[in-house]
Structure 1
Amino acid sequence: VLGGTDSIASYESRPLFEKFEAEVKSLKSVDEQFPDMNYPIGEIWEYKNGADNRTAINRSTNEEKKVFVDLRQFAVKFLALLLSTSRDMDLFVVVVRVILFEERIAYLHLRRYSSRGIEMALDASYEELYKDFRRGAEAHRQTRKFVRSWLKPGMTMIEICERLEAHSRRMINESGLDAGLAFPTGCSLNHCAAHYTPNAGDPTILQYGDVCKIDYGVHVNGRIIDCAFTVNFDPRFDPLVEAVREATNAGIREAGIDVRLCDIGETIEEVMSSHEVELDGKTYAVKPIRNLNGHSLGHYRIHAGKTVPIVKDFDINAEHVPLRLARSKNLLNVITKNFGTLAFCRRWLDRLGETKYLMALKDLCDKGIVQPYPPLCDVRGCYTAQWEHTLLLRPTCKEVVSRGEDY
């Protein structure tokens, strides 16, 4: 991704994104379509009973109980202080709600132990988060429907990405770091499995015989929707694409609170490996890529630490680094202001009007301030497919928030 000399955005990428942004300018964004903020709810799944017959409704770990006890003791003391100075009980509920949200305790399952006031505050905090995710999910659904209406062989990969991203920015009503794209559009082809997005000047053209993985994401207040699908025009690849989709849905069925990640991986591998694909008279077994995984999503972080394997038995506060190059300092300021801890690509720097930044970008990567994500490729001549959804593990059920009529 750091190859080449200077950006050539002024010759290709900039006119393209301006053209496509003008195309979607008159469209209503998702928040304009749903002014009451009642965004569509995703697909609801009940949790499976665990091996010990527990469900998410009655589970609670010792760590969670301890956190709640500490929180309850604080709440009692805080309430006593409020009562001595004010009789505004609504203020107490609001303050507790903010504490629950900011300290990231909102995910704990405290129903049986909490008082009515804390329950209300907890539910309210959940609902705010859900609305952010659902708004992003609806934007994703509308953009992928738009993409499927015109995507065809013969288009350049830059054209595909710029047009998709222009529509996605409009649907999410891009607003700085409050709402926007979560990461650059991936459009990996054939043996390239992930993390390919074209830079300005890339001449790659989508062909009839390509298997293309469209992977893009949006966020609202840092709550990320990461969802992907595979496009193929040659029906010979239908069995491959369907095998991966079936395996993905099997993993979704298995996922839940207290489920071991390796068990999800085992389920995915079992389903995927049961399929075969015939190409040119030869039969090939469908195999999962061992070092590509699902992952948890964090606040403004596309990879938040936990990984969900697809095979069995797999169980921005940067350090201060002195930057001597003035261009590196300036570029880091641009990156921090516009992307924060979210992923970005060179096309997005071009879009901001940055030029001659490759040496500065390499300097930031070499110092570990910016983490490069080069394309991940398998053996040339093979074909890969991808399907991906975002799940909310709610207290009593899981919500496949990015589910749509298409997949």
Structure 2
Amino acid sequence: MEQLVENFKKAQSIAEKVFEFSKKNVKVGVRILDLAEKIEKKIFELGGKPAWPVNVCINNVAAHYTPSSNDETVIKENDYVKIDFGVQVNGYISDNAFTVCLGKEDEKLIKAAEEALKESLKEVKEGVKIKEISEIIANVLEKFEVKTIRNLTGHTLERYNQHAWPPIPNVRNDLNIKLEKNQLIAIEVFTTTGPGWVKESAPTEIFQFKQRKQVRWKDGRKILELAEKKFERLPFAKRWIKEIPPISLDLGLKELVEVEALTEFPPLKEDYGVVAVAEKTVLVV
């Protein structure tokens, strides 16, 4: 338990610095590839490791979008830019996200997500039921008259596991599960002007080790080895693998997903509208 507390506190300390660094670097005209790589580099410089590729999700894209190595997307004025990053220290993870809308300082979607996060975090302690946390979030969002995304939630974190049970929904529910001391909890509040239900889209750039499998391709075996050892079974970006030519990399990833050696994370997006998010990880005491 001492190891959990010590490593998480270090990850959280690094995350707080990365949070401020990231916010300062979200600017009109910046390529999202440059932004993601700059944030990932900063995490390493501060003594942590990225727990997954930095997500840079714009407008109706809610989650799981990290730029490819040839992504030329740039941030425009009035874009809703969501940055989701994780810092891991010896497998203990701090998961954080924020939203910036350049050109709109007093933006209701962002304020609603941030206030719901702030108010719900006040009640995170041992013995509190998940449904009670969700009730606080729902009340704040109703006060602001904004919708959430019903099929995205906050979550528990475990060592080398970024999405553990139980979830922390942003809607009212009947989860009587009580928070336990020394659990890591990420409250992740989404707000939206869209339908409130994300769907998978493309292109997929994020993958994660699932299990060892026999694969035909030499390059496939190399990818699986990298996923397990270099990336420590946590999510990784296709652009992180520079040792394998692009065509072989695509074929290898496709085969590994088909044989269920890797899990893929397609971008999640609303059919229309814009999305904001606010997220922080805390240790239950």
Above 0.5 in TM-score? yes
TM superposition shift of 1:318: 4.9
TM superposition shift of 1:320: 5.0
**One-letter code aligned to 1:222:** G
Which of 225, 234, 244 matches 1:354?
Answer: 244
Task: Tell me whether 1:295 sits opposite 2:186 in the alignment.
Answer: no
TM superposition shift of 1:366: 1.4
TM superposition shift of 1:153: 0.4
Asked whether the 8 Å contact 2:209–2:227 carries over to 1, the reply is no
In structure 2, the partner of 1:309 is 169
Runs of 5+ consecutive residues of structure 2 not aligned to the other structure: 176-207
Task: Give the Cα–Cα distance (whole angstroms) in 1 for the partners of residues 282 and 20 of structure 2.
Answer: 20
In structure 2, the partner of 1:387 is 278
More helix by share: 1
Task: Tell me whether 1:330 sits opposite 2:222 in the alignment.
Answer: yes
**One-letter code aligned to 1:325:** W
TM superposition shift of 1:250: 2.0
In structure 2, the partner of 1:376 is 268
Task: Give the Cα–Cα distance (whole angstroms) in 1 for the partners of residues 263 and 136 of structure 2.
Answer: 32
Q: Secondary structure at the match of 1:292?
A: coil
Task: Tell me whether 1:170 sits opposite 2:45 in the alignment.
Answer: yes
Which of 74, 86, 90 matches 1:205?
Answer: 74
In structure 2, the partner of 1:161 is 36
Task: Tell me whether 1:229 sits opposite 2:121 in the alignment.
Answer: no
Which of 256, 264, 269 matches 1:364?
Answer: 256
Corresponding residue pairs, total = 251
Asked whether the 8 Å contact 1:273–1:288 carries over to 2, the reply is no
Runs of 5+ consecutive residues of structure 1 not aligned to the other structure: 1-124, 173-178, 276-284, 395-407
**One-letter code aligned to 1:336:** E
The structure number with the bigger radius of gyration is 1
Task: Give the Cα–Cα distance (whole angstroms) in 1 for the partners of residues 6 and 223 of structure 2.
Answer: 34
Task: Give the Cα–Cα distance (whole angstroms) in 2 for the partners of residues 327 and 317 of structure 1.
Answer: 15
Report matched runs for 1:178-197 at 5 Å: 179-197=48-66
Tell me the C-alpha RMSD between the 2 structures: 1.9
Task: Tell me whether 1:258 sits opposite 2:119 in the alignment.
Answer: no
**One-letter code aligned to 2:152:** L
TM-score (norm 1): 0.59
TM superposition shift of 1:319: 5.0
Change (3 A) 1:314 1:287: farther
Task: Give the Cα–Cα distance (whole angstroms) in 2 for the partners of residues 130 and 294 of structure 1.
Answer: 21
Task: Give the Cα–Cα distance (whole angstroms) in 2 for the partners of residues 323 and 198 of structure 1.
Answer: 27
Asked whether the 8 Å contact 2:138–2:172 carries over to 1, the reply is yes
Superposed CA deviations along residues 253-303 of structure 1, whole A, max 9, x for unmatched, are 23222322222212211211221xxxxxxxxx4101111111111111111
In structure 1, the partner of 2:137 is 268
Change (3 A) 1:317 1:342: closer
TM superposition shift of 1:135: 1.3
Task: Give the Cα–Cα distance (whole angstroms) in 2 for the partners of residues 221 and 256 of structure 1.
Answer: 24
Q: Secondary structure at the match of 2:225?
A: helix
TM-score (norm 2): 0.82
Task: Give the Cα–Cα distance (whole angstroms) in 2 for the partners of residues 164 and 134 of structure 1.
Answer: 20
Asked whether the 8 Å contact 1:229–1:386 carries over to 2, the reply is yes
Q: Secondary structure at the match of 1:386?
A: strand
Task: Give the Cα–Cα distance (whole angstroms) in 2 for the partners of residues 211 and 317 of structure 1.
Answer: 31
In structure 1, the partner of 2:194 is none
Identical-residue share of aligned pairs (%) = 30
Asked whether the 8 Å contact 2:227–2:234 carries over to 1, the reply is no
Task: Give the Cα–Cα distance (whole angstroms) in 1 for the partners of residues 244 and 14 of structure 2.
Answer: 28
Task: Tell me whether 1:148 sits opposite 2:23 in the alignment.
Answer: yes
Superposed CA deviations along residues 91-125 of structure 1, whole A, max 9, x for unmatched, are xxxxxxxxxxxxxxxxxxxxxxxxxxxxxxxxxx4
Report matched runs for 1:67-146 at 5 Å: 125-126=1-2, 128-146=3-21
Superposed CA deviations along residues 43-75 of structure 1, whole A, max 9, x for unmatched, are xxxxxxxxxxxxxxxxxxxxxxxxxxxxxxxxx
Task: Give the Cα–Cα distance (whole angstroms) in 1 for the partners of residues 116 and 211 of structure 2.
Answer: 40
Asked whether the 8 Å contact 2:62–2:270 carries over to 1, the reply is yes
Superposed CA deviations along residues 130-163 of structure 1, whole A, max 9, x for unmatched, are 2211211121122222233333101111011111
Task: Give the Cα–Cα distance (whole angstroms) in 2 for the partners of residues 152 and 266 of structure 1.
Answer: 35
